[in-house]
Every structure is written in C-alpha cells, then in structure tokens.
Amino acid sequence: MREEQIPLLVNAAHAYVGKPMDLVAVDAAHPGILLCRAAQQALNGLLAAIGGVGKILPVSGYRPRSEQEAIYAASLRENGREFTRKYVALPGHSEHETGLAIDLGENKPPIDFIRPAFPDGGICGQFKARAAEFGFILRYPADKEAVTGIAHEPWHFRYVGPEHAQAMAREGLTLEEYVARLLKTAR
C-alpha cells in the first residue's frame, strides 16, 4: 500500500495543517453542517440504507479552527480542564477541521452539542453495524481510550473509505493502530 493511500491521522500528536476540500452541506435540512463530498455522500447513503433519515441527526461536521478554539475555550470555562481534555480536541488537532468527521445524535431532544446521545441499540445500533460498509469508523471506542487519547464517544464517526473502514472493523483497530500498521508495512 502506498503512503498516500493511508488515511489522514489527526489527534493530539498529529496536527491538521491542510484545508478540507469540496465541503458540502450534509443535507438540505442542515445547511450549516458541512462535510467533504465523499463523506457526505457516504453518510446519506448509510442513513438511507437503514431508514435513519430524520431519526439520526447531524450535530457537528466541519469546523474551522476559529470555531474549534471557541468550543475549546467555552468547554474549559463551563466544564473544566478534565472534562475538556477527555471530550474536546485541542484546536489544530480536531478531526472536525478535516471535514471528514461527523458527530451524530439520535433524534430525541434535547440534543447535547458536546455529547449527543447515540445508543448501541435501535437505529443508532443499525448505523454502527453498517458504518464500515459505507466507509465510517467509530473513532473513539470505549476500550481504546489509552490509544486514542479521547474518552469513548459513541456519536463521533470518521470517514476513511470502505476499504480502510472494513479492514479496521475486522481487526478491531483504532485509526492510530491501523495507520501505524500501514506505515510499518509501507517501509
């Protein structure tokens, strides 16, 4: 596998320095929530396939650095350093800045912006079960906090493409573990 095919890794140790390409609205009902076109098309395909349109709502997609800075500062003020460290990425280190990450919530108001409800059962469980088929991974699984550096976020999905997502799902790997394996293989 060539290095340019390795999915983009953004985390506390790997800053995002690019600019997202081809941002589009997730759907007509949420014109302010943007994703890169490939991720948007895959998300809409997955929601349609499981009958999840209107039952699962986009909460947060692409965020410019300035928005991530404001969210981080507000969380520090309102929730404290420990909570913020667990649930809010440092500006420049947020996957939301790539246009490839989406936070989703079950359509049961009120929907929390930082930690939206996304249970394992029902329509949300169906989404999780088929996510890899459409190129999405659950980015922060419960048993991998030490690897990702972020607390379990059952609502945060990252588009990496079907080939990578299915390989990660088969092997139970986080993006950090998968990228490390690909880089080792590429050498």
Catalytic residue chosen out of the listed positions 3, 153, 176, 177: 153
Give yes or no: 67 in active site: no
pLDDT confidence tier of residue 4, bands split at 50, 70 and 90: very low
Fold type of domain 3-186: Muramoyl-pentapeptide Carboxypeptidase; domain 2 (3.30.1380)
- Omega of the bond leading into 110 within 30 degrees of 0 (cis): yes
130: Cα within 13 Å, side-chain hemisphere: 17
* Strand positions, DSSP E, 32-135: 34-36, 56-60, 101-106
186 or 128, higher pLDDT? 128
User: pLDDT tens for residues 128-142?
Assistant: 999 999 999 999 999
User: pLDDT tens for residues 51-85?
Assistant: 999 999 999 999 999 999 999 999 999 999 999 98
Q: Where are the domains of the chain?
A: 3-186
